[in-house]
Amino acid sequence: MKKTFNIKKICVTMLAMTGALMTHGQALAQASDAYPTKTVKIVVPFAPGGVTDTSGRIVAEALSKRLGQQVIVENKPGASGNIGAQLAAGAAPDGYTLFLALDNILVINPHAYSKIGFDTLKDFAPVAKIGNSIVILAANPAVKAKNLKELIALANATPGGLSYGTSGNGSLVHLAGELLKQQSNSNFVHIAYKGGGPAVADALAGHTPLTFASAASINQHLKAGKLVALGVPSAVRSAAYPDIPTFKESGIPGIELNSWVGIMAPAKTPAAIIAKLNKEINAVLQEPAVKDKLLNSGIEAANGTSAQFGDEIKRDLEMYKPVVEKAGIKAN
């Protein structure tokens, strides 16, 4: 039997569908324009008081004023940040639950843990980078090395090698040490502590000759001469510590890493909301008071698009995989 088509009916149906799609799109646009209409929550995957938590609270306070709605911090610590990340990844993609991400969680944990409960690239949408946490290689003054080259020579001449303490196995500071060891073919030995505080304390006491640590945790000790800075693993010198050379300047190329912190949203969060958040967060990061507060906590404020932040995350995720594998790092 030959089928017949009612052209008029088809056209009417198509117009109705098009109208419905346009109405839905307009509704989404209007919702994004009005955003936010209630409290915004930032999930911090660590306990209160640390550098990551502090940076989140600094941004949240300033962002509240710009958005006209309260922005609060909710601490969800555990499993090296994986618990908080999993909770944030599973939240509704409406812009009202955000995630304060540390590089360690999104680009190192996926390689160090067999199961983490989230996929960095599939479950999150980059919003804005807050800044880079300054990482410093420091030594106890008793260590007979004035620079990185002398330190490497000393490590290779020391039976059993020179040990360096960090905040934990699989942390970015641990990987900074592994990169130095791999790139310089030197004899450094990692000692993992349960937090940066104990690692720094043992370096001060001379129980461990070296420590890789955040600037915030050792700044006062550097000023007092109780620890000596030998280098930073970043691409360029820190504006806060211009006298400390990079590893590359010290003759060890191939080590250009930043310990960053930034804001992420659950995947499928509307692009318009992400764009608005990126704009407002970047504005906040340019406020002198905010920049000073972040710098005092050891973070140099950043500025950039969500796409640029996403590209950095992808790059770091790829970069750390062979380092973790070669070092045999297993966090569980």
pLDDT digits (tens, 9 = 90+) for 106-133: 999 999 999 999 999 999 999 999 999 8
Q: Determine the pLDDT at residue 12.
A: 52
Are 165 and 175 contained in the same domain? yes
- With the C-alpha atoms ordered 304, 309, 312, 316, is the resulting torsion angle positive or negative? positive
Identify the CATH number of the domain in which residue 227 sits: 3.40.190.10
Q: Give residue 179's domain range.
A: 135-231
User: pLDDT digits over 39-69, tens only?
Assistant: 999 999 998 988 889 999 999 999 999 999 9
Residue whose token pair is 């764009």: 275
Same domain, 179 and 96: no
Task: Give the whole-angstrom CA distance, residue 138 versus residue 332.
Answer: 28
Q: How confident is the model at residue 297 (pLDDT cuts 50, 70, 90)?
A: confident
Q: Does residue 266 share a domain with residue 128? A: yes
How far is residue 245's CA from residue 53's CA, in Å, rounded to a whole number? 28
1 pLDDT exceeds 50?
no
Amino acid (1-letter code) at residue 3: K
265 and 126 part of one domain: yes
| pLDDT value, residue 313 | 97
Task: Give the pLDDT band (50/70/90) at residue 2.
Answer: very low
318 and 182 in a common domain: no
User: Domain total for the chain?
Assistant: 2
Q: For residue 142, what are its two tokens?
A: 């008793």
Give the residue-averaged pLDDT of 144-170. 95
User: Is the domain of 158 the same as that of 304?
Assistant: no
The pLDDT of residue 279 is above 70: yes
Distance between CA atoms of residues 91 and 263, nearest Å? 14
Q: For residues 282 and 145, state if they share a domain.
A: no
Q: Which of 13-27, 168-182, 259-273 has the lowest mean pLDDT?
A: 13-27
Q: What percent of the chain has pLDDT over 90?
A: 75
Check pLDDT > 90 for residue 14.
no
What is d(CA 156, CA 187) in angstroms, rounded to the nearest whole number? Answer: 5
d(CA 287, CA 22) in angstroms, rounded, equals 39
Kindly report, residue by residue over 65-80, the tens digit of the pLDDT.
999 999 999 999 999 8
For residues 129 and 315, the answer to whether their CB atoms sit within 8 Å is no
235-254 residues labelled b (16+ CB within 10 A) or e (exposed): eeebeeeeebbbbbebebee
Q: Band of the pLDDT at 8, cuts 50, 70, 90? A: low
**What is the edge-to-edge ordering of all strands in the sheet holding 71-75?**
71-75, 40-44, 97-102, 259-266, 124-133, 299-301
Q: In 3D, which of 247, 238, 241 has the Cα closest to residue 227?
A: 241
- The burial of 72, by beta-carbon neighbours within 10 Å (0-12 exposed, 13-18 middle, 19 or more buried), is given as middle
Same domain as 142, residue 126: no
Q: Give CA–CA dist 329/332, Å, rounded.
A: 9
Q: Are residues 128 and 273 in the same domain?
A: yes
Non-local (6+) Cβ contacts of 251 within 8 A are 148, 149
What is the pTM for the complete model shown?
A: 0.84
Q: Does the pLDDT of residue 253 top 70, yes or no?
A: yes
Residue 76, domain member (yes or no) = yes
Based on the fold, state whether residues 262 and 128 are members of the same structural domain.
Answer: yes
Q: Are residues 262 and 283 in the same domain?
A: yes
If asked whether residues 292 and 209 sit together in one domain, one would say no
- With cut-offs at 50, 70 and 90, classify the pLDDT of residue 11: low
pLDDT of 274: 98
| Residue 124 domain-assigned (yes or no) | yes
What mean pLDDT is reported for the chain? 90
The predicted pLDDT at position 254 comes to 86
Is 45:85 a contact under the CB 8 Å cutoff? yes
